[in-house]
Amino acid sequence: MRNSIKYTKDELRKKYKMLRVNMSEDERSAYDRKIAENLTSLYQYKNARTILTYISIGIEVDTRLFIKKALDDGKYVAVPKCTDDCGLDFYFINSTDDLETGSFGLFEPNTDRCRKVKNYKDCLCIVPGMSFDVSGYRIGYGKGYYDRFLSEFTGATVGLCYSNCVRWKLPRGFYDRSVDIVVTDRYFRKCSSRYNNKE
């Protein structure tokens, strides 16, 4: 069963990678701007003191405009660094000038310049994914870093995804963690009952 789920996820990962690759640059840029607008309109964004967010590369939903907006809004912004035990530590940044190339060719915080986050209270975590479903589960990049982090994180979580990469239901394993809200270029969907009474 485990191998079957892995195979299915790998095939879906390829499918949604190609959907993104085939988007024009103008189309993707327009979608990225709309996703950033929808994200910053959320109650959970407005209420958060600290934003934990990935630094986008390639065909991922772009987070750089969002990061600039969050810093301009007076938010603390922290980005992840991969650890030796396949986990994530987050570090505060003042701008993208605080980044350097790290694990897997990703941009990571320069730990000589950046302070490590030690308290995750009042944080909103932005989660990457190739595809999300309507329950907030995702197809990630196959390494499990975010699922490990989310297993202990108790704050609000938001997945960013292009609307054409959202499915009704994705395969999920025992260690997979869902997000509270999925934000796309067309809508946002609340996947967790704990926010049903929020704006």
What pLDDT digit, counting tens, does each position of 78-108 carry?
999 998 888 899 999 999 899 998 777 789 9
Nearest to 70 by CA among 29, 106, 39: 39
In this prediction, residue 6 has a pLDDT band, given cuts at 50, 70 and 90, of confident
23 is written with which tokens? Answer: 């988007």
In angstroms, what is the C-alpha Rg of the chain? 16
pLDDT number for residue 198: 47
Whether 197 shows a pLDDT value over 60: the answer reads no
Alpha-carbon distance of 129 to 136, in angstroms, equals 11
Q: From residue 56, give the alpha-carbon distance in Å to each of 67, 117, 118.
A: 10, 20, 23
Q: Where are the beta strands (DSSP E) in 66-177?
A: 76-82, 88-93, 99-101, 107-109, 123-127, 131-133, 138-139, 156-160, 166-167
pLDDT at 39 over 80: yes
The whole-number pLDDT of residue 195 equals: 56
Task: Give CA separation, 70 vs 30, 46, 115, 121, 154, in Å.
Answer: 19, 10, 18, 17, 21
> Kindly report the CA angle at 103 between 121 and 180, in degrees rounded to 5?
35
- State the chain's mean pLDDT as an integer: 91
Give me the long-range contacts of 193-199 (CB less than 8 A, separation at least 24): 195/43, 195/44, 195/156, 198/43, 198/44, 199/43
- 100-133 residue pLDDT tens: 987 777 899 999 999 999 999 889 999 999 999 9
Q: What band does 7 get if pLDDT is binned at 50, 70 and 90? A: confident
Q: Domain map of the chain by residue range?
A: 2-192
pLDDT tens, position by position, 174-196: 888 999 999 999 999 999 766 55
CATH no. of 2-192: 3.40.50.10420
- In percent, how much of the chain has pLDDT > 70? 95
